[in-house]
Amino acid sequence: MSGSSYSRREFLKIAGLTGAAVGAAGGLGGVLSACGGGETTTTAAPPASTETTASAPSTTAATNPGSSTTAASAGPEAGREIKIGFVAPLTGSLASFGVPDKYCAERATKAFGDNYVCGDGKAHKITITTVDSQSDSNRAAQVAGDLINNTKVDMVVAASTPDTTAPVSAQCEAAGTPCLTCDTPWEAWLGSQTQGDLSATLKWAYHVFWGAEDVAASMLDAWKNISTNKIVSMMFPNDADGNALRPLYTPIFKEAGLTVVDAGPFQDGTEDFSQQIAMFKKAGAEIGMGLFIPPDFTNFWKQAAQQGYKPKITTYTKALLFPQSVEALGAISNNLSTEVWWSPKHPFKSDFLGQTCQEFADDFEATQKMQWTQPLLHFLVFDWAADVLKRTASVDDKEAIMTAVKATKLMTIAGLIDFSAPVVGSTPPFKLGPCHIVENVYKSPLVLGQWRKSDKYPLNDPGKGFDLVLVDNVTAPEVPVAGTIQEYTGA
C-alpha cells in the first residue's frame, strides 16, 4: 500500500474492531460423544506397538540437559504409571499438521526417560498414547473420550486447528480431565466452545496460540511495502476456522482503508473455484488473502494461475504452512506468503529437551529425512505437560494438576508460556503479541513469512523446493527477519 504505514498503537486500534465477532457456527454441541471402546489408535511407538511409553530408549540426565532436574537417580520412591493422551490429525485433509507429531511424541518419551520425578517426589513411568482424529471433529471428540474413559489417561494434549483442539477440549471439560492444547487461533479455540463468548472461563482446558489480530497486524505491516490499489480478495471456508475468523478480518481491513471483496463461504473439499476467481479478476483485486485446508488451496491456486488471476500480494493462511503444500504447486509457489508461528530461526530453547529451535529442526531433518515444518511447535504441549507434572504435588488429584497448569511459567520450544502473568483481557482492543490474553489462553509469537526458491530443499532433490523466509515481525520483534516481503511474480 503506497504511502501507508501503521504504528503499534494503530494496530491496537484496528484489532479492537474485532469485538465479539466470533460466531457460534463452530459450536461443539453435536460433537461430545458418549465414547466406548473398540477404537484403533495410532501411537508414537513403532507400528508393532499401540503406545509410546517411557520404557523406550531414553535420554538420561547425562546426555540430555532437559532431564537433569527430573530424571530419577537411585533415590526416589517408585510411583504409578502416568498416562498422557495425544490427539492429532495423522490422516485426512489436515494430515499435513500431523506430519511431525509422532516424532514429537517419541522425543518426549525419550526425554521423560525411564523414571520421571514429579512434584510428589516419586519416580513415574510416563506413557504417551497418540491417537488419530482422522481430521474429523466428531472423531476427535470420540477418541478423546476413549482416552479418558478406557485408557484412563491423567491428561490429554492436542494440536492442529479447531477441528481437533476444540472438540478435545470440550470433551475434557465435560469429563473433568486436564487438557493442554495448541495450534488454533485463540478466538476460534475458545469461541467454538463458548458460543462466541471470549470472556468465558473454562476449568479443565488451557491453550497456547496467537490470535487473528496478530495475523492481521502482520499482514498490514508487510503489505505496505508494495504499492497496490488496496483491493483485497478474501476467501474463507464454511468451517470452524473460517466462520470464526472471517468476521474478525473484515472490519480490520476496512478500517485500514482496504476495499474487501469477499467471495463468501465455500465448502471444504470444493474442486471448482472459477466463480470466485472471476469475481476477483473483475474487481481487480491486487491483494489476495484467505484461509484454506491444503488440498483446497492447491485446487484454487492452480486454477487462479490457469485463469490469469495473479495479485501482487498473496498471503494465504493455514494451507501454506507446510513445504509439502508449496512443492505440490511447483514454480507458482514462489513468493506466496503466510503466517509463521514456528521456525528454526525462532530464538527459543526447550527447557525440557535442552535444545534450541534450530537444533530441534536439525534433528528432525536428520532423523526423519524431510524438511522442517511449522507443526514442530506441537512439542510445546510436552514441554508444558512435563513442567506441570514436575510441579504437581499429587498426580492422583486432578485439581492439583490444574493448580500447576495455572501457575505455568516456562520457556518452551515455542517461546515463553506465562500463565502467572496478569490477564490482559478479551475486551477490545486485543493486545498484540505474546501475552496472557484471557484466563485459559497465553498467546505465542506470530510473524509473517514468504516461500522462496531454495538451493537446499527438498532434501532428496535440492534446488527444486522452497524455504520459508521471515519477512515481518511487527507483533513479535524478538523473532529476527531476513528482509521484507517481495511482490508475487507467479514463478
Point out the least confidently predicted range of 68-72, 84-88, 204-208.
68-72
Type and span of the H or E element at 423: none
Looking at the chain, the whole-number percentage of residues with pLDDT higher than 90 is 80
C-beta separation of 420 from 407 below 8 A: yes
pLDDT in tens, 344-373: 999 999 999 999 999 999 999 999 999 999
- The Cα 167–Cα 406 span in angstroms is 21
| pLDDT 10s digits, 263-307 | 999 999 999 999 999 999 999 999 999 999 999 999 999 999 999
Q: Does residue 38 sit in helix, strand or coil?
A: coil
Helix (H) or strand (E) holding 331: none
- Structure confidence at residue 368 (pLDDT): 97
465: cell is 523446493
Question: Which are the contacts of 209, defined by CB distance < 8 A and separation ≥ 6?
Answer: 182, 183, 184, 185, 186, 189, 341, 441, 443, 444
Contact 157, 385 (CB under 8 A): yes
Q: What is the DSSP letter of 149?
A: I
- Per-residue pLDDT band for 244 (boundaries 50, 70, 90) equals confident
User: Which tens digit of pLDDT belongs to each residue from 123-133?
Assistant: 999 999 999 99
Residue 455 one-letter amino acid: D
Which residues are CB-neighbours of 399 under 8 A, at least 6 positions away? Answer: none
pLDDT digits (tens, 9 = 90+) for 380-428: 999 999 999 999 999 999 999 999 999 999 999 999 999 999 999 888 8
Rounded to the nearest 5 percent, the helix, strand and coil shares of the chain are: 35, 20, 45
Query: How much is the pLDDT for 149?
Result: 98
pLDDT for position 57: 32
Beta carbons within 8 Å of 62's beta carbon, 6+ residues apart? none
Question: In the block, which residue shows the cell 513468493?
Answer: 335
Residue 429: predicted pLDDT: 86
Distance between CA 422 and CA 414 in Å, rounded?
20
Closest-CA residue to 159 (of 117, 96, 214, 83): 96
Distance CA(115)–CA(471), nearest Å, equals 43
Written as nine digits, the cell of 362 is: 536439525
What is the model's pLDDT at position 490? 81
| Per-residue confidence band for 10, with pLDDT thresholds at 50, 70 and 90 | very low
Longest dimension (CA), the chain: 74
**In terms of Cα–Cα distance, which of 287, 289, 313 is closest to 300?**
289
Average pLDDT on 318-339 reads: 94
Listed in order, strand segments (DSSP E) in 13-171 are 52-53, 82-88, 116-117, 123-124, 126-132, 155-159
Per-residue pLDDT tens for 418-465? 999 999 988 888 999 999 999 999 999 999 999 999 999 999 999 999
- Record the cell numbers describing residue 120, joined without a space: 510428589
Section 73-87 average pLDDT: 90
- Which grid coordinates belong to 285? 483485486
User: What's the burial of 323, exposed, middle or buried (CB within 10 Å: 0-12/13-18/19+)?
Assistant: buried
Per-residue pLDDT of 149-172, as tens digits, reads 999 999 999 999 999 999 999 999
Q: Give the contacts of 74 (CB within 8 A, at least 6 positions apart).
A: none
**Cell output for 266:** 465455500
pLDDT at 18: 34
Whole-angstrom Cα distance, residue 298 to residue 333?
10
> Which pLDDT score is estimated for 5?
37
In sequence order, what are the beta bridge partners of 470?
449
Confidence band, pLDDT 50/70/90 cuts, at residue 315: very high
Comparing CA positions, the residue from 401, 400, 388 lying closest to residue 351 is 388
* Alpha-carbon span 338 to 219, nearest angstrom: 9
The three grid cell numbers given for residue 317, joined into one nine-digit string: 493462511
182 neighbors 414 (Cβ within 8 angstroms)? yes
Q: Who wins on pLDDT, 329 or 72?
A: 329
What is the dihedral sign for C-alpha 355, 358, 359, 361?
Answer: positive
Q: Model confidence at 45, in pLDDT bands (50, 70, 90)?
A: very low
- CA–CA dist 442, 421 (Å, integer): 9
Question: Among all chains, which residue has been given the C-alpha cell 498473496?
Answer: 314
Q: What angle do CA 451, 456, 461 make, to 5 degrees?
A: 105
pLDDT in tens, 245-269: 898 899 999 999 999 999 999 999 9
Q: Assign 74 a pLDDT band (cuts: 50, 70, 90).
A: low
Give the pLDDT score at 21.
33
- pTM of the predicted model, to two decimals? 0.86
- When pLDDT is cut at 50, 70 and 90, the band that residue 52 belongs to is very low
